[in-house]
Chain A
Amino acid sequence: MSTVIQAIELSRWYGIVMGLNNVSFEIEAGLTGLVGPNGAGKSTLIQIITGQLQPSSGRLTVFGLKPWNNPPLLRRVGYCPEGEAVPRELRPMDWLCSMGLLSGVPPADVKARAEAVLDRVKLPREHWHKRMGQYSKGMKQRVKLGQGLLHEPDLLVLDEPMNGLDPMGRQEVAQTLKELAAQNVSILVSSHILAELESLCKNILVLNWGRILASGSQKEIRADIKDWSEELEIQCDQPERLARQLFDAGMLMGFDIDPADGRLSIRVKDAGAFYEQWTSLLLQSGVTVHGIRSRSRSLQNIYEKVTT
């Protein structure tokens, strides 16, 4: 896979405040999530990637080029900022046509392109004639996403694109992003709604206090965490019997049984060995299992592990 974004010893200060602290990473083509609490440095990183800020030291390249004041590179980058700021007095078509012209879309194509992206982000046509000051937060998000897609970028950078969207809207945007990724558009998306990134992004970058805490695929990050343990919730008819069976086989670090619903929670010593023997151990126990859910595989869990 080709490297889209590369940072080498990248730092950014705001006076005495550290925005990014000597970070190095690579982001490959595809869908990548950027995770971190407020003040982690996500927006600083996004602004450097999109050429709005310059590094204080170190180097960041996008497609091998520095983004600051670099029109040929910015032609390949789409950006959807955080917040709901859009020109309130304008109608979406007017705004998108202007943004399209500013992005290098030929004048003859710009109107059709604007209509196409508004359809793509599923902004209902009955709202196209309204001024954007009258829009809901979700509608503004859709138009903002649309302006980022106008010039068919190779890299799309999205800062909290799901904010303000209802569950249906989030699903639609996620679907749009997956379609774009399938068309070889690289996407960097930051969100504090980790569940969304979990289902959307194979690769993640975890930031806190201006430092990269983890990067790579979710699987790689889990493997890198030293005290990682798989945590499972098992719904079955004889939780005590199953727990004893697994414990005797030396699979567990600990377990817990909820007396209310009989749910068995287990912490596994070695996930690889556990999944290898799980089927035979279950058959030996004779217990009927109704459902299994991994608690530790969620992005939330990874995030908590790497930030503590």
Chain B
Amino acid sequence: MSEKPLPTFFNALQAIWALTWKGQWTAARLPYRFGVLLVLPALVLITVDTVQRWSQRQSSFGSAFVQTDSIAKRLDRRQVPLQQAQRDSLRAILQEEFQRLQSLWTDEPNESVATRKTRLEEHLGEFGRRILDRVKDVLDGRQMAEMRLWEAKFRDSTVERLSAIQPGWGRTTPFYHWLIDCYFFIILPLTCVRACGALIRDELQADTLGFLITRPISRARLLVVKYIAQVVWLELLLLVETLLLFGTGFERDILGLSALFPLFLVVQIAAIPAWCALGALLGQITTRYMAAALIYGAVVEMGIGRIPTNINSLSLLRHLETLLSRNGTLEGIFSWDVGNVWVAVSALVLAPVIFGGIAAFLFSMIEYHAAAEMQK
């Protein structure tokens, strides 16, 4: 009997790759897939203000009504109270000038504190001159003297207050929490674990595993090609999600995104195989791999990973934090207790090898019973 050729690794990968993605792009599934990808960017758009809206919401220069009351009280204390007609006129002038003050001011995200202070002094100086010019027809001499004192005090305190604020951070920090805390540390790992935990389990549930494990390919190799196909698929899918998120960030004028993008992409590309390998391993160990992943997250990532000894090297999140903290923006926002960069790189390279190796070994040993799986 002549020896029949066995499938090469590349041909097996080609076959599994086709099986992986061809089933995904159906008319019924497409809207769902796109919908899921759009959820997080939509949440970011809803919850992170534009520069204009943020400036309005912050009311950084104060309220005309509050300042009118403040001036009226000051004049009362000085025994030169405002008449009702004077009060109404003053409020109208302040209202107009405060609106103008606010509308003519723009935050410049990348300017230094000193530059911002100079701009504020000029902007508020102009505002003060206009106010004093307009109220001199409304107030008498003593009241005008008090008004000048108020203007000087308001200008100094406002310049002091607003130049101390780092421009834009109050608005952009939530975006980074969405990006890192929500997407990178929760959604991405769970997506990978879900997809790769199901590598074999979903085939069992669909009762199609028999077609694959009776092919002339070793079980370990079959798991490896399925894992690689799934990783490539997820890299592409999550790249789209990352582009959508960063696109949303750029649309919202988030500070420091351009500098973060290449680093974030590289770390994401390295993180996906590691989380996928963990998923593949958990999928081999238990049918409830998502529950196992949550327990793993609580015990290893949240528990052991936060213990300030060498044992925290077991935490993948800590290694990812170490790599991401190379970015100054993220380092400034998050107070991560980071480790050595090379240890982090080594851990991310070794994790797929170790988790994937154990998963492939287990798959070579375990027998599956579709009937038991389908009762799940």
Query: A-side interface residues toward B, CB under 8 Å?
Result: 14, 47, 50-54, 63, 69, 71-77, 79, 81, 83, 85-90, 94-95, 97-104, 106-107, 131, 147, 151-152, 154
Known: A53-B367, A85-B208, A87-B19. A101 touches B7 (CB 8 A): yes
Complexed CA–CA distance, A75 and B6 (Å) = 7
Query: Is A101 in contact with B23, judged by CB distance below 8 angstroms?
Result: no
Complexed CA–CA distance, A52 and B19 (Å) = 21
Name the residue of chain A whose CB is nearest to the CB of B6: A104
Query: Is A87 in contact with B214, judged by CB distance below 8 angstroms?
Result: no
Residues of B within 8 Å of A69, CB to CB, are 218-219, 364
Query: Is A54 in contact with B6, judged by CB distance below 8 angstroms?
Result: no
B120 interface residue (CB < 8 Å to A):
no
Complexed CA–CA distance, A47 and B367 (Å) = 10
Residues of A within 8 Å of B5, CB to CB, are 75, 104, 106
Closest 5 CB pairs of A and B: A85-B207, A75-B216, A89-B23, A101-B15, A98-B15
Residues of A within 8 Å of B4, CB to CB, are 75-76, 104, 151-152
Known: A71-B6, A72-B216, A104-B6. A52 touches B210 (CB 8 A): yes
Interface centre among A101, A107, A131 (most CB of B within 10 A): A101
Name the residue of chain B whose CB is nearest to the CB of A152: B4
Query: Is A74 in contact with B22, judged by CB distance below 8 angstroms?
Result: no
When the two chains form the complex, which single residue of A101, A106, A147 contacts B211, counting CB atoms closer than 8 Å? Answer: A147
Query: Is B7 in contact with A104, judged by CB distance below 8 angstroms?
Result: yes
The number of inter-chain residue pairs (CB within 8 angstroms) is: 105
Name the residue of chain A whose CB is nearest to the CB of B216: A75
Interface size on B, residues (CB 8 A): 35
Query: Is A90 in contact with B23, judged by CB distance below 8 angstroms?
Result: yes
19 A–B pairs (Cβ distance < 8 Å), ordered by A = A50-B210, A52-B368, A54-B367, A69-B218, A73-B216, A74-B215, A75-B216, A89-B24, A89-B26, A90-B19, A98-B18, A98-B19, A99-B215, A102-B11, A102-B16, A102-B216, A103-B216, A104-B11, A106-B5
Residues of A within 8 Å of B26, CB to CB, are 89, 131
Query: Is A102 in contact with B218, judged by CB distance below 8 angstroms?
Result: no
Residues of B within 8 Å of A53, CB to CB, are 367
Known: A72-B6, A89-B22, A154-B1. A104 touches B216 (CB 8 A): yes
Name the residue of chain A whose CB is nearest to the CB of B215: A102
Complexed CA–CA distance, A69 and B362 (Å) = 13
Residues of A within 8 Å of B23, CB to CB, are 87, 89-90
User: Nearest Cβ in chain B — how far from A232, in angstroms?
Assistant: 44
Known: A69-B364, A72-B6. A101 touches B217 (CB 8 A): no
Name the residue of chain A whose CB is nearest to the CB of B208: A85
B46 interface residue (CB < 8 Å to A):
no
Complexed CA–CA distance, A88 and B364 (Å) = 27
User: Nearest Cβ in chain A — how far from B371, in angstroms?
Assistant: 10
Query: Is A52 in contact with B22, judged by CB distance below 8 angstroms?
Result: no
Complexed CA–CA distance, A54 and B23 (Å) = 31
B14 interface residue (CB < 8 Å to A):
yes
